[in-house]
Amino acid sequence: MTKEENNILVEETKLSEQEQQRRDKLKALQLEGKDPFDVYKVEVTHNSSEVKENHEALEGVLIKTAGRLMRKRVQGKAGFSDIHDREGKLQLYIKLDNVGEEKLKFFKTLDLGDWISVEGHVFITKTGEVSLEVKSFELIAKALKPLPDKWHGLVDTDIRYRQREVDLIVNPDVKDKMIKRTRIISAIRRYLDERGYLEVETPILSPVAGGAAARPFTTHHNALDIDMYLRIATELYLKRLIVGGFEKVYDMGKNFRNEGVSYKHNPEFTMIELYEAYSDYNDMMDLTEDLVSTVAQEVLGTMKITYQETEIDLTPPWRRVSMADIVKEETGIDFNNITLEEAHAAAKK
């Protein structure tokens, strides 16, 4: 037995019963010349959200859509199923009279997680749910691993972080956060671009680690035979651009700090820095206040958000207070009239 054959054998012995069944189904399809991993264009005329929002106008229109099979309840000659796409869930109604005996039998063999394309017409169920009456369907990709149990979900934090694709499938709130993050980034760029800021790309590899007090990641440049550092901040290069004559610049990208890891801190993170000539910190406060409130309204449709069960109103104007004043307000300590010894004693409390 060759090394490659042995590796395949070892891999197959690790398969669970469900995984083996799914692979057996895949092999059977391939032997029939129906490989679900063949690459071809899938026509999609409407996503799930468009179908539900415009169902009245779509009456009688042949809908073509696709998604991941997430629920299947088909018994006898008919049944309901759900597919999920990027916008959400769409219920399907499939019956023998529409698809035929062979296709209905095949549909019953599909596994949760499989990707299918469907064609059909919109209708409203007796319970009032917008659904699609399936006229035809195709398996377009086979899921070879089962999804986490729907009742227990995926709750192990380590697995969620290491298998983000599974986390996105079974935890809709995670997917929603990622979509909002993308829209927030786009809105920030649009806001700054419309106000004359120039987005630039500063070096990620740098001969010096500067711009912040943090431990850098070190690497080696073979051609130059020198050690270099992944950037810990974009500050220094942005300031050089201001010196060079640019009046408004910003960089939104990855920074790297070789320090602790926690739920709130990751060594690789996205940060935005911007600089503007002829302005002071009051102008930056004005810009920050307007940017955050404008982006919140655009992405969320409101300036009121909830964080850790606390409602925060982002509507301008925001309260502005100096560090010395807020320390005095919260602790009673007047930072401007305290000795060094008194400060040390207060810090130890």
State how far the Cα of 275 lies from the Cα of 250, in Å rounded to an integer.
6
> pLDDT of 180-224, one tens digit each?
999 999 999 999 999 999 999 999 999 998 888 899 999 999 999
- ω before 317 within 30° of 0 (cis)? yes
Strands 115-124 and 63-75: antiparallel
Domains and CATH numbers, the chain: 3-141 (2.40.50.140), 172-348 (3.30.930.10)
> pLDDT of 276-334, one tens digit each?
999 999 999 999 999 999 999 999 999 999 998 999 999 999 999 999 999 999 999 99
CA dihedral 165, 170, 172, 175 (to 10 degrees): 0
* Overall pTM > 0.85: no
pLDDT for 10 beyond 70: no
**How crowded is residue 288: how many other Cβ atoms within 10 Å of its Cβ?**
12
HSE of 323 in the Cβ direction (CA atoms, 13 Å)?
A: 2
Strands 198-199 and 248-256: parallel
> pLDDT of 233-274, one tens digit each?
999 999 999 999 999 999 999 999 999 888 788 999 999 999
State how far the Cα of 216 lies from the Cα of 234, in Å rounded to an integer.
13
pLDDT for 126 beyond 80: yes
Helix or strand or coil: residue 76?
A: coil
Q: What is the pLDDT of residue 125?
A: 96
> pLDDT of 133-165, one tens digit each?
999 999 999 999 998 876 556 777 788 888 888
- ω before 172 within 30° of 0 (cis)? no
